[in-house]
Amino acid sequence: MEKTMTEDKNQVVGSEAMDGQRDKEHIREDLELSAQLGESDSWEDKLKTMVRQNKLAAFSAVILFLIFLAAVFAPVVAPYDHLAQSLTDRLQDPSAAHLLGTDELGRDVLSRIIYGARISLTIGLVPTLISMAIGTVLGLCAGFYGGKVDFIIMRLADVMLAFPSLLLAMVVMYTMGGGLINIFIALSLVNWAGTARIVRSQTLSLKEKEFVEAARSIGVKKWTIMFRHILPNCLPSLIVLFTLNIPSAILSEASLSFLGIGAQPPSASWGLMAVRGKKYLFSEPWLSIAPSAAIMIVVMAFNFLGDGLRDVLDPYLKEQ
């Protein structure tokens, strides 16, 4: 690659030009080039690159934004009250009045799905944010202080990562009992280890960089170096990681609720709706399939967006 980089950006040189991950390669080369020329792209430019190169990621962002709006304005958007029961309207097929039919208590499924988006998005965003904040601080400390601090934190992370994640959440739910709030706490507590590992390894390499040395030599305080100098450089990876961690949190909540140890009735959690609809699978399949599909769409959109962001922000963060 060296040859290409030292030469004019527009010129394609013989043997180096091959087919292959063209989009990704192009983005990567562009990034490398701009890094070499010292004209690092602004955030805005990078996002523009993504929108241009990866239509699917851009489309996913739009979808997520729309779902987010629907969740916020659920009372306005939803055609019915999501809790209003009506025994005369039980288990109706999808129709003009009820686009996705009604459930066994006569509640409008579409309205419940719209309200359910509130739960899924909150579960996706908040516990992920909390667990990543914990992981970031621990990873920074481990990488920056090294020695015993590093050893203890990382062995703790090893232990956390050794658990099958769903099972770990289940154990926490056993301890604290069911309910959405407890899922919140469980997911906040168990998912920090992966973030800690990545932040630690980045801190280790950033610690050796000149600008950190320089800051240290003029007597900047340790915490200031960690949070003002090192942390901002970890941000691109963290954003990508955040986008890719959200769907797994959403799936965890759905799974726990599906197993009956998460959200409790009459909550409109999608996982809970799916498991309650399961009883009527052979007569009214939409009852369980519709909320499942809602989960799939949101998860898929986050995955597409995360993939796209990774390509532009942090091409070196490997797919695990």
Residues that bind other proteins (CB under 8 A): 3, 7-8, 10-15, 17-22, 25, 155-156, 158-159, 162-164, 166-167, 170-175, 247, 251, 254-255, 258-261, 271, 274-275, 278, 281-282, 285, 288-289, 292-293, 295-296, 299-300, 303-304, 319
Q: In 225-285, where does DSSP find H-type helix?
A: 231-258, 270-277
**Nearer Cβ to other proteins, position 131 or 206?**
131
The answer to whether residues 108 and 98 touch, using CB atoms and an 8 Å cutoff, is: yes
The rounded distance, in Å, linking the Cα atoms of 78 and 98 is: 11
Dihedral of the CA atoms 286, 182, 173, 251 (nearest 10)?
40
**Nearer Cβ to other proteins, position 198 or 275?**
275
**Nearer Cβ to other proteins, position 33 or 215?**
33
**Nearer Cβ to other proteins, position 14 or 147?**
14
The answer to whether residues 111 and 70 touch, using CB atoms and an 8 Å cutoff, is: no
Say how far residue 165 (Cα) sits from the centre of its chain: 15
Q: By C-alpha distance, which of 212, 194, 231 is closest to 317?
A: 194
CB of 168 to other proteins, least distance (A): 8
CB of 260 to other proteins, least distance (A): 7
Q: Report residue 88: phi and psi, to 5°.
A: -75, -20
The DSSP H or E segment spanning 194 is helix 192-207
**Nearer Cβ to other proteins, position 89 or 284?**
284
CB of 151 to other proteins, least distance (A): 11
**Nearer Cβ to other proteins, position 52 or 221?**
52
CB of 85 to other proteins, least distance (A): 24
The rounded distance, in Å, linking the Cα atoms of 84 and 28 is: 53
CB of 197 to other proteins, least distance (A): 14
Q: By C-alpha distance, which of 316, 242, 296 is closest to 120?
A: 296
CB of 212 to other proteins, least distance (A): 30
The answer to whether residues 300 and 64 touch, using CB atoms and an 8 Å cutoff, is: no
